[in-house]
Structure 1
């Protein structure tokens, strides 16, 4: 992820920071109270976790994953190479300043450039801010809100344009 925001692969040394971030009310509200991070998950080859920084300061978490890697995944119907994404801003002072909008666009473009035909995401249907950001980047709702293994979701997809 070259550009305004730097992203590096998350690693085990990031676990304390990630656990602080995910416990914050503005994140726990959407991600739940369970700790989703482990050394095994960070090392899963179908799953790419990133720490996003601005001017060398980590402030956000981003992940992309192969949607077909989990049997029965709600995006399992998508074509080979499709990626799912999720993210959050961990530093509260960085919220509401357009950073999420920008680093999501940067990562979306990188995934499409790498050949992903579709990028999918699944915000909670009550997370109007996240849904609005995704819509800005070409994501459209592809179904009604529903229950998944990860909670209630609104399925959204963006498709690569052109060859």
Structure 2
């Protein structure tokens, strides 16, 4: 378990979390953007595969000890995203889904993203930037990343979406 600032905790997701993650991903506010409304079994398999690889770290985020969302931290150099911008070897990427719709629109995503980016930058001195690629049409996500100090660097045409490349650097005052 990693304790973040502002009351957040982050822990590695396991197959035991597949039921909760599948339920979150079925929520309309997530399903539309993530398109991963998978069965519990498929989520369990995906979590196992991620845990066994070097590409990404699936996590469950909590606020004041209450699980609220799913986070993926990933090394961009191991991800297809590296093909779409001038990625640095030590860039980290982040995906975030606040699962509880009652907790969206309250600044929790912004606060979690800020705390998470700060923690990654502290933990990895070689990393100078955290990147994200939210769908350009996902205004709440884009606002949350922006409020957490991520700066839009342009559009990326990914196979499944038009994304905004958003970057948080060590020098950003968030």
Fold match, TM over 0.5? yes
Q: Residue 69 of structure 1 aligns with which residue? A: 78
Kindly state the Cα deviation for residue 129 of structure 1 after the two structures are TM-superposed: 1.5
Q: Residue 13 of structure 2 aligns with which residue? A: 10
Q: Which runs of 4+ in 1 moved over 2 A?
A: 33-37, 41-46, 70-77, 149-152
Distance across 2 between alignment mates of 1:159 and 1:129: 21
> What SS class does the counterpart of residue 119 from structure 1 fall into?
strand
Kindly state the Cα deviation for residue 70 of structure 1 after the two structures are TM-superposed: 2.9
Q: For structure 2, which runs of at least 5 residues remain unmatched after alignment?
A: none
Is the CA contact (8 Å cut-off) linking 1:49 and 1:61 kept in structure 2? yes
Is the CA contact (8 Å cut-off) linking 2:107 and 2:144 kept in structure 1? no
Worse-superposed segment, 7-16 or 32-41: 32-41
How many residues are treated as equivalent by the alignment?
A: 161
Distance across 2 between alignment mates of 1:51 and 1:124: 22
Which of 141, 144, 147 matches 2:157? 147
Gap change, CA 1:132 and 1:30, over 3 Å in 2: same
Kindly state the Cα deviation for residue 42 of structure 1 after the two structures are TM-superposed: 3.7
Is the CA contact (8 Å cut-off) linking 1:67 and 1:75 kept in structure 2? no
- Alignment RMSD: 2.1
Task: Report which of the two has the higher share of helix.
Answer: 2
